[in-house]
């Protein structure tokens, strides 16, 4: 199934929570996408924004809070009362769940201004090493090329995907420099000739955040391999027809 559950099935459950991840296989997704950054005490945690303000009942920067402080927050209530008590997961907890579900995970390395990218990569690498998941269950992605270079150096066996909003003119050079596996771009900016160039060069091509199947019908024809979506359920009728 070629839909990745973006931050889990984030249209049906609070994003980047274990509950949202558990829904992914139920909607036919082999892959989930998660966002990872470091807590103040250097634990890789799964949350998208630089602050906890939008997705928890707390406030402040993730990087200024310890794991104990982050774990005290409610990460479900903002979405709905039904999800009261949901917590911000660690990367370690998420990998354990991935293992139990037998799914795969696209780990987006989030680098915000002032973040220490080397520290982020080193701490993520430690957690990955401990988890001992088969490498084909893992993919790193990032908008930050240095993060991907560092992961290439410390965990070369794990595949890397370069995130761009739109594919830049020097894409092939940059992809080559990190021995990329995949190119991930915003479906709204992808041009058919860029898709053709990426496919001819042998890269997997992923598009985010494709929430309406009718808006990406052409993209499949251009060779896009994967849609990263908050709404995998929207693709179910299409998938059923194909199967
Ligand atoms: O991996 C695709 C997508 O997650 C990149 O953007 O901001 O949703 O993390 P963002
Ligand atoms: Mg992301």
- The pLDDT of residue 26 is 95
- The pLDDT of residue 79 is 98
For 116-134, how does the pLDDT look when each residue is reduced to its tens digit (9 = 90+)? 999 999 999 999 999 999 9
- The pLDDT of residue 236 is 82
Alpha helices in the chain (DSSP H): 18-26, 67-71, 91-101, 117-131, 145-154, 171-177, 192-200, 217-221, 236-242
Ligand 1 centroid–CA 208 distance in Å is 7
Pocket around ligand 1 at a 6 A CB cut-off: 6, 33, 35, 48, 108, 141, 163, 184, 208-209, 228
For 181-221, how does the pLDDT look when each residue is reduced to its tens digit (9 = 90+)? 999 999 999 999 999 999 999 999 999 999 999 999 999 99
DSSP string across 51-92: BSTTTSS--SBGGGS-HHHHHTS-SSTTT-GGGTT--PPBHH
Query: Which positions are catalytic?
Result: 6, 48
Q: Best of 107, 163, 230 to mutate for ligand 1, by most ligand atoms within 8 A of CB?
A: 163
Residue 243 has pLDDT above 70, yes or no: no
Check if the beta carbon of residue 41 is closer than 8 Å to that of residue 70: no
- The pLDDT of residue 240 is 46
Q: Is 210 helix (H, G, I), strand (E, B) or coil?
A: coil
For 167-181, how does the pLDDT look when each residue is reduced to its tens digit (9 = 90+)? 999 999 999 999 999
Q: Is 221 helix (H, G, I), strand (E, B) or coil?
A: helix
pTM above 0.95, yes or no: yes
For 2-34, how does the pLDDT look when each residue is reduced to its tens digit (9 = 90+)? 999 999 999 999 999 999 999 999 999 999 999
Ligand 1: atom nearest CA of 110 is 9
Residue 241 has pLDDT above 60, yes or no: no
For 45-81, how does the pLDDT look when each residue is reduced to its tens digit (9 = 90+)? 999 999 999 999 999 999 999 999 999 999 999 999 9
Instruction: List, in order of start, the domains of the chain with CATH numbers.
Output: 2-242 (3.20.20.190)
């Amino acid at each position: 199934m070629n839909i990745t559950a973006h931050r889990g099935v984030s249209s049906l459950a609070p994003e980047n929570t274990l509950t949202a991840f558990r829904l992914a296989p139920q909607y036919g997704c082999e892959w989930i996408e998660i966002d990872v950054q470091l807590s103040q005490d250097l634990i890789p945690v799964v949350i998208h924004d630089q602050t906890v303000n939008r997705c928890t009942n707390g406030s402040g920067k993730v990087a200024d809070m310890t794991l104990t402080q982050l774990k005290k927050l409610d990460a479900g209530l903002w979405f709905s009362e039904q999800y009261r008590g949901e917590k911000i997961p660690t990367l370690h907890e998420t990998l354990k769940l991935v293992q139990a579900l037998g799914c795969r995970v696209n780990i987006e390395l989030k680098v915000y201004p002032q973040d220490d990218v080397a520290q982020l990569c080193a701490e993520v690498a430690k957690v990955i090493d401990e988890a001992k998941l088969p490498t084909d269950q893992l993919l790193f992605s990032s908008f930050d090329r240095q993060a991907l270079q560092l992961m290439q150096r410390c965990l070369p066996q794990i595949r890397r995907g370069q995130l761009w909003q739109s594919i830049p003119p020097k894409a092939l050079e940059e992809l080559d420099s990190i021995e990329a596996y995949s190119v991930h771009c915003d479906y709204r900016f992808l041009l058919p000739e860029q898709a053709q160039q990426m496919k001819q060069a042998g890269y997997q091509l992923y598009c985010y955040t494709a929430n309406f199947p009718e808006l990406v019908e052409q993209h499949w024809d251009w060779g896009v391999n994967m849609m990263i979506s908050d709404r995998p359920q929207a693709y179910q009728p299409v998938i059923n027809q194909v199967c």
